[in-house]
Chains A and B, each alone.
Chain A
Amino acid sequence: MTYISYLYFFGFVAVVYPLYLVCPKKQKWMVLFAGSCLFSIILDGFLAVCLLVTSLAAFFCGKLLTKLQEGFNTAKKDLSKDEKKQLKAKVTKKKKAVVASGTIISLSSLVVLKYTGFFEGIFNSVSGIFGGIQLPLITFALPLGISYYTLQAIGYIVDTYRGKYKAETNFAKLVLFISFFPQITEGPIGRYDKLMPQLVEGHKYTNENFTGGATLIFWGLFKKLVISDRASYMVAEVFDNYTKYGGVIVFTATILYTIQLYTDFSGCIDVMSGTARMFGIKLESNFRQPFFSKSVGEFWRRWHITLGTWFKDYVFYPVSLSAPVMNLSKASTKHMSKFMAGVVPSAFALFVVWLGTGLWHGASMKYVMYGLYYFIIMLIGTLLEPVFVKLSSKLRIDRKGKIMSFLAVVRTLILVNIGMTMFRADSLEECGAIVSRCFVNININDIVYGTIFSLGTDKHDFLAILIGVLIMLIVAVMKEKGTDVLSGVANGKIYIKWPVMMGLIIAVFVFGAYGPGYGFVENIYAQF
């Protein structure tokens, strides 16, 4: 069952939602628990098994960590300073062992299922050089959502290790947190301390939640069905046969893919957040107008936010504070300039983060390079920053002025578009070929004679995409200026709320790419 399907809305939400509303407050979470278990089983029986293993690991590790911490807190009261120190070291060692095993168990199914083939490929390449053995390549069908809930479970284990909160004592509640159905296949990656209280609170029906949730659902459907899916047809044709087409078409396809990916991912997240909102639950934001970013770094703070913050909290900080990086930091301070001494250790930690981000997206060199592409751009940006500062002061350029800010946005858009092309292309070589193809055979007749409209996305589709993107742009600009149009509509006066909501619903029904004649377009981020 995918989120964008009749089965999800009419067969699943339409059953779970009324049940949730009629259930007594204290038992409401059980409806969500049962719904989430059922959803995972319908999605993929194997996913349910993997989920159970990860949940068990997280539950027992969390409990053990809290027990160790509480044992220490009780014992330390009667101890001297030195004894306290000794006991703390002992407990920390045990806690580290628990957190490591919990993380390894949680990661194991993800690593085995997602990366076996990738590591075998690397082994075979190295072995091939020395004339060694070649392993048969094994690939597994990846259960949907595994890359999301694994991170969520690890976050929970690490946070209990850090003493951020006490471990959950009810196994079913922890399973609900890890498998909550609106976020199981595409995120957003939730945090226990923010999500769990909402999941167990038991919300009553409120007009605000219902209208706000429904508006968000239709807004997400609008993005996915009216814009993303219509763009996907031409994107598939051109990316699969790029050598057949000239610059105008290939360039348009790369832009369309960026639009497709954003509207597909953010649209699906909106649908999910809208569903959760109907239940009175607010999921984490995953996007904040990413295409207004002035730098690639800012882009990643606005795009797939929950993945970025997860890597920051659970990879960047631990790596930065690890012994080797601390030693590196000391050595850099001793032997390098103040600027470089600051850059080198954080660059090392960032390298690990971006390598991880790349690999998280997929088990192939393409995704590794995708992560490192952004790392290199950011590193170059950081290293050249002093030069830019000097240059702009000499040339008396106001880097924060409107023109420079606009140019910075355009520069980021270009870099991100190349990144997205890398993401969509089958390999790094293909990405290079597609980017260079944008500058070959540029023929305006491709538009004049309509070739561009004959590749799966016709002129009506283009019109729908254009109008859709314009509407999105207006909403984004207003949000950037502090006005949340969607909330405004959901909570606004009837003469604004009704026409806008009806318009949105009609637009989805009439202009959505669904039904006979339209192939189902799988959510891109559900495949990771």
Chain B
Amino acid sequence: MSKEKIADHEKNNELTEKKDTAEIKTEKKTKNKFLFYTARTVRGISFFVILGILLTVINYALHPKNNKKEFGMKDQNAHAFYAEPENTIDTLIIGNSEAYSSFSPLEMWHEYGITSYVSAQGAIIMSEAYYILKEALKTQDPKIVIFETDALFPHKSDQTLRDRTISNVIENEISLLKYHDTWKIQKPANFFSPIEYKWKSYSRGQMDDPKIEAYGSNFMDISEGKDEEYKDGKINFWILKYLDKFVDLCKENNISVIFVTIPNTLTTSRLNSQAVKDYCSGKSITYLDFSEHPEYINIDWTTDTRDGGVHMNTYGAKKVSDFLGQYITDNYDIPDRRKDEKLAKRWDSDYRRYSNRIQKMEKEMLEENDMP
């Protein structure tokens, strides 16, 4: 081989070697890059897994261990259905303060043997109502859901309703966000105690107040309340969205829905009632509008309200419940639960407590009135 050829050969070899080294380097680089990204992904996932585990443990520690306010439960009256024996509530009543003032489950029990529960909270918005229903369906199998419609027209701006709905939905889906502040009231010793929702509302969610603060002078027809705003018959987007979900959830569970409008001196509105009527007719929902048909319940505004016509007292609630009890008995296939001895014992004892309490308060009120 000539010197030139040898040189060429060596050069070629050198080039091939160089090429090989470059390829190895690229290969190594690709491998390194792959390893780098894999390691980074694994690291990222590990971070969120560990954080998730920690937050789950903290979530349990901070979750109320009983369904009472003292344990951190929000709106305990609306959530005392947890303590009822499973599948014993046949009628669930949901709404805002109009609902917890206007319906008396114990009266409906006493007169008609209907087991009902008022799961209501003041100034409720529709997503809250939806989550209450969803929660109740975990332990109860109601045949009827009664919804008081004042909650469809909250006195809040569209923006507030949007923000409140979003917060409410997220906080219901991630319970730590709802109960995170129980560190203020829970004893560290209870952090890992079992969760036992035992607290029972003897009135089944009703605010049983016999106080009388009259409005007007007789059986007045309140077809239009005093408030000027939020009476244009418009249902807010977010309210409507969760109202649809609420109704759909009832339908999925074969629950009959009854919408009820209780009249009051502030928010009662013909336009709002018409909007509810339109909604109900579109969805084939029964609608009982007592503001349009006050004769159904014969409310005497001199005796049946506890705060000058805004909310019913126990006398007003009794009238509403009497009508509804009869209506349900006549139109729905609901069993008379008084035949169930065990259940009857529980409900009768609470009815006695309820009527004794009212009698005691009536006596106190009479004594107060007799005072010089």
Contact = CB atoms under 8 A, between A and B. Distances in A.
B167 interface: yes
B178 A516 contact: yes
A511 B167 CA distance: 17
Interface string B70-105: 000010000000000000000000000000000000
Nearest to A502: B51
Given A509-B55, A515-B177, A6 B74 contact: no
Interface string B36-47: 000010010001
Contacts of A11: 166
B33 to A, nearest CB: 14
Contacts of A323: none
B181 A517 contact: yes
Interface string A9-38: 011000000000000000000000000000
A205 to B, nearest CB: 11
Nearest to B169: A6
Contacts of A129: none
A512 B162 contact: no
A157 B166 CA distance: 40
Interface string B171-187: 10000111011011000
A40 B84 CA distance: 49
A509 B175 CA distance: 11
B162 A7 contact: yes
Given A5-B163, A7-B162, A498-B47, A207 B40 contact: yes
Interface string B183-214: 11000000000000000000000000000000
Contact of B163 (A7, A207, A510): A7
B50 interface: yes
B51 A505 contact: yes
Contacts of B54: 502, 506
A494 B43 contact: yes
Contact of A515 (B43, B162, B171): B171
A502 B181 CA distance: 18
Nearest to A499: B50
Contacts of B108: none
B178 A515 contact: yes
A57 B51 CA distance: 49
A460 interface: yes
Nearest to B177: A515
Contacts of B166: 5-7, 10-11
Given A7-B163, A510-B58, A517-B74, A460 B170 contact: no
Contacts of B170: 6, 10
A184 B71 CA distance: 42
Interface string B52-77: 00110010001000000000001000
A458 interface: yes
Interface of B is mostly: helix
A510 B183 contact: yes
A460 B184 contact: yes
Residue of A11, A501, A502, A515 with most chain B CB atoms under a 10 A cut-off: A515
B174 to A, nearest CB: 9
- Interface size range of chain B in the complex: 20 to 34
A520 B164 CA distance: 10
A509 B50 contact: no
Nearest to A7: B166
A515 B74 CA distance: 11
A37 to B, nearest CB: 19
B180 A510 contact: yes
Name which of B47, B62, B74 has the most chain A CB atoms within 10 A of its CB: B47
Contacts of A494: 43
B43 A511 contact: no
B51 A515 contact: no
Contacts of B167: 5-6, 515
B183 A511 contact: yes
Nearest to B162: A7
A6 B184 CA distance: 23
A511 B162 CA distance: 25
Nearest to B62: A510
Contact of A506 (B47, B55, B162, B171): B55
A7 B163 CA distance: 7
B180 A515 contact: yes
A516 B171 contact: yes
Contacts of B55: 506, 509
Nearest to B51: A502
Contacts of A511: 180, 183
A477 to B, nearest CB: 28
A512 B177 CA distance: 10
Interface in B259-310: none
Given A6-B167, A7-B163, A502-B54, A509 B177 contact: yes
Nearest to A210: B44
A515 B163 contact: no
Contacts of A515: 167, 171, 177-178, 180-181
A11 B47 CA distance: 23
A498 B47 CA distance: 7
Which of A10, A458, A509, A516 is packed against the most chain B CB atoms within 10 Å? A516
A207 B47 CA distance: 13
A219 B183 CA distance: 21
Given A494-B43, A502-B51, A502-B54, A509 B162 contact: no
B20 to A, nearest CB: 32
Interface in A482-511: 494, 498, 501-502, 505-506, 509-511
A468 to B, nearest CB: 14
Contacts of A509: 55, 58, 176-177, 180
Nearest to B184: A460
A226 to B, nearest CB: 11
A127 to B, nearest CB: 35
Contacts of A458: 184
B50 A502 contact: yes
A514 B176 CA distance: 11
Contacts of A6: 166-167, 170
Contacts of B47: 498, 501-502
Contacts of A513: 181
A11 B166 CA distance: 9
Given A502-B51, A502-B54, A518-B181, 9 more contacts: A6-B170, A460-B183, A498-B50, A506-B54, A509-B58, A513-B181, A514-B177, A515-B180, A517-B74
17 contacts: A6-B167, A10-B166, A498-B47, A498-B50, A502-B47, A502-B51, A506-B54, A506-B58, A509-B176, A509-B177, A513-B181, A514-B177, A515-B180, A515-B181, A516-B74, A517-B74, A517-B181
Interface of A: 5-7, 10-11, 207, 458, 460, 494, 498, 501-502, 505-506, 509-518, 520
The 4 lowest CB-CB distance pairs between A and B, nearest first, are: A460-B184, A516-B74, A6-B170, A510-B180
